[in-house]
Chain A
Amino acid sequence: MSGYILRRLIYGVFVLVGVNVLTFALFFFVNSPDDMARAQLGAKRVTPEAVEKWKLERGYHKPLFLNEKLSGFERVTETVFFDKSVKLFAFKFGESDQGRNIGYDISTRMWPSLAVQLPAFLIGLLVYISFALLMAFFRATALDFWGVVLCVLMMSVSTLFYIIGGQFLFGKLWSLVPISGYNGGFDAVRFLALPVLIGVISGIGGNARWYRTIFLEEISKDYVRTARAKGLSETRVLFRHVLQNAMIPILTGVVVVIPLLFMGALITESFFGIPGLGSYTIDAIGQQDFAIVRAMVFLGSVLYVIGLIMTDVSYTLVDPRVRFS
């Protein structure tokens, strides 16, 4: 087991190296730092001196891979590749193009993100699975049919409309919650209620339908027929047998996103003015802050790799057949 996890960890590191090389290529080969400087400075202020100053302030003035001027170790370490790419592995995100400390920003901003995402994730899971079980229980009846119709209808509506509609109804028309904003402590509940609700509702269509398919696939298997033949009640079959066996496909999709909850939701956070990592990313994209986007790409991949390993481990917990050697 530990050997297996170690192998997965090493593979994960290789994946992160790949991500790093890819982002480095994307950010430094497609456009040179000079191009980025010109784009950031704007057409009017571009002079060779201004470009050099912009690069110097942000550490883009060094050579890409090999610093010929220095000797020994510093030939490799005093380069853009080492500064901007290799240091990410030590979670040294450096400074944003605006001069803020990215590591500090991330460490303060991930908690509001988690405060929205975790409740939305847990409540969502409960709602989706219950709804899907309900449809599976009443399969091939009118309730199932109209449930699926509702799901397809709901998944055809853009997330943007859920957010705008929710803000309009709950925030403006009924004045139940503030339209946007955030506050620390217990006061946060007022601000979080609506984003969490919207997060859950906007996912119902796709998720409930997906879980229903999983349950129906399990229900058509032989062991379920055996269970029924033994005279078990339909509820017992569904909750004891089907639900447990459906855990594997459910876990595959669910566990991997748990670490990514820290990253927040881009759209939700920016609409509701929550100072999390999602709105941080959106602002960075808006300001064309390449350093933050690079850091977030790396962080996202790290969390995804952790999620993959967690998924593997979770299999052993729910399925006694799965043993890693």
Chain B
Amino acid sequence: MTPSIFAFRFELLWTDALVWLLVVTVAGYAAYARARPHLRAPWSRVSRSASGMAAAVILAAFVLVGLLDSVHYRPQLPPQDGKVAYATEVRSLLDRVVEPLRVKREKTYSAPLATHLYAKETLQTADGREVREYPRLRHGGAHLKNPELERTGDIALRAFRGLALALLLWFTLAVGLSAGVAQRAGIGIETAWGDIWRGRTAVPWRAVLCALAVLVVLVGPVAALAPHYHVFGTDKVGQDVLYQSLKSIRTGMVIGTLATLVMLPFALVLGVMAGYFKGRVDDMIQYLYTTLSSIPGVLLIAAAVLMMQVYIENNAALFPTTEIRADVRLIALCVILGVTSWTGLCRLLRGEALKLRELEYIQAAHAFGVSHWRIMMRHIAPNVMHIVMIALVMDFSGLVLAEAVLSYVGVGVDPSTISFGTMINSARLEMAREPMVWWSLAAAFVFMLSLVLAANIFADAVRDAFDPRLVRAGAAA
């Protein structure tokens, strides 16, 4: 008897814990900011930016995939002698959702949507002769009796069905949105529909719907084809490239968010202290960040990662499974990236704190006998938060790009972790093959570009909304 799908044990990896902590923090901040008009104002400015909202839709899709991939569990194995055991392999909810992609492995390379392998093999025909041929794939298009004739039609039909379903879903969402807008504004649903499409709503719903349309048009056919074909082909060991791309999203997002999270306390505490106390403290902190930033970034990261590798190799007993080891390496990478990259933000915050400490309200606080600590916490820190927020969103895309480069240099994530860097790294040599294997690289390119581009555009919207200089200039114009 095989155990039901509900028999499993949750496995909280370190990165999962931090990711969910981050989610809770963001939710808490959202609730806090909602109740305060001065915190709500910049975010409502973000929500009025058409490009920002469109990018947010795409980002949300990536975040969804990343979060699904951050719930890990171990499935229960078929019981032996009445004992309940769990698999050693850790899976995530995403693995469960896209189970066919993970399980359906081929022998080696196959092109996108192919029915045959990419390399010829010696096969035996029914009458015992040996021929060199492209063998059929085990899974890709395996349901077709006569691939040469049926393949194109089958793909077109499935893609069309997926597209139709996706568009139907999109249309339902659009109508639902119109109904929501109509109810809020107290107008008819048709008027609301017209307003949205003429761009008359305060929140640019038209841009949101357009971004959603692009998303469903791309995802629909792929989702419809994925169970029966390898939409982005397979790699050297026959693993589905689409699956790898989906798994890479989490790695990129974990690095993009957690590294900034690590860097934040250093930058905030030291920057505000340097600017507020001036004198000795300022000299010390300035010396510290000049020293750190004088070491070329990649070299410092490389040195730290090398030392971490040595530590992990010599203390292998602390990290029982490959997943745990890979996860610890991922965290360590985030910590190292954070510790080496706080200097830029620290410098900005120091400058701002220097300006703020001279203002009257701080002097008034002094006169009332408020302690230094309290002045920094209550009066200075909240007023530099816009810089922090801008830095948070601006750094994300840079970190995702940095991961790829670092993994190439060999100081990035664990080789067993699927990431954009490891994907590109292994695909690089395939370009030199004859005939060329291009799809791994193309998939990594498409996914990475959309993630980073969406993050960049969203970051621009956030910066425009939070930067007081830009806001004032916008109000005057």
Contacts and interface: CB of A to CB of B under 8 A. Distances in A.
B302 interface: yes
Contacts, number: 126
B314 A31 contact: yes
Interface string B265-300: 000000000000000000000011011111110111
Contact of A297 (B300, B453, B457): B300
Main secondary structure of the interface of B (DSSP, over half): helix
A156 B307 contact: no
A55 interface: no
A35 B312 CA distance: 10
Interface string B292-324: 111110111011101111110110000000000
Contacts of B300: 297
A267 B306 contact: no
Contacts of B291: 15, 18-19, 22
B431 interface: yes
Interface string A167-184: 110001000000000000
B114 to A, nearest CB: 22
A156 B453 contact: yes
B287 A18 contact: yes
Contacts of A300: 294-296, 299
Interface string B145-172: 0000000000000000000000000000
Contact of B449 (A16, A157, A296, A308): A157
Interface string B415-453: 000001000100010010000000001000100110011
A146 interface: no
Contacts of B409: 266-267, 282, 285
A36 interface: yes
A288 B404 contact: no
Interface string A117-133: 00000000000000000
Contacts of B296: 260, 263, 297, 300-301, 304
Interface string A147-158: 000001101111
Contact of A156 (B299, B397, B431): B397
A322 interface: no
B314 A297 contact: no
Interface in A254-312: 260, 263, 266-267, 281-282, 285-286, 288, 290, 293-294, 296-297, 300-301, 304-305, 308
Given A39-B309, A305-B294, A160 B453 contact: no
B310 A39 contact: yes
A164 interface: yes
A286 to B, nearest CB: 5
B211 interface: no
A169 to B, nearest CB: 11
B295 A297 contact: yes
A22 B397 CA distance: 29
A15 B287 contact: yes
Main secondary structure of the interface of A (DSSP, over half): helix
Nearest to B403: A158
A35 B308 CA distance: 11
B410 interface: yes
A39 B314 contact: yes
A51 B317 CA distance: 21
Contacts of B310: 30-31, 35-36, 39, 288
Contacts of A297: 295-296, 299-300, 303
A102 B291 CA distance: 24
Given A31-B311, A158-B405, A301 B410 contact: no
A168 B431 contact: yes
A308 B291 CA distance: 12
Contacts of B70: none
Interface centre among B304, B310, B431 (most CB of A within 10 A): B310
Interface of A: 14-16, 18-19, 22-23, 26-27, 30-31, 35-36, 38-39, 152-153, 155-161, 164, 167-168, 172, 220, 260, 263, 266-267, 281-282, 285-286, 288, 290, 293-294, 296-297, 300-301, 304-305, 308
15 contacts: A15-B290, A18-B288, A19-B295, A22-B292, A27-B307, A30-B310, A152-B457, A156-B449, A160-B404, A266-B298, A266-B405, A285-B409, A293-B302, A297-B299, A304-B293
Given A35-B310, A156-B449, 16 more contacts: A18-B287, A23-B303, A30-B308, A35-B314, A36-B310, A39-B313, A152-B460, A158-B404, A158-B452, A220-B473, A266-B298, A267-B408, A285-B306, A290-B306, A301-B294, A304-B294
Among all A-B residue pairs, the 8 with the closest Cβ atoms: A18-B291, A300-B296, A156-B453, A156-B452, A304-B294, A39-B310, A301-B294, A30-B307
Interface of B: 287-288, 290-296, 298-300, 302-304, 306-311, 313-314, 397, 401, 404-405, 408-411, 420, 424, 428, 431, 441, 445, 448-449, 452-453, 456-457, 460, 473
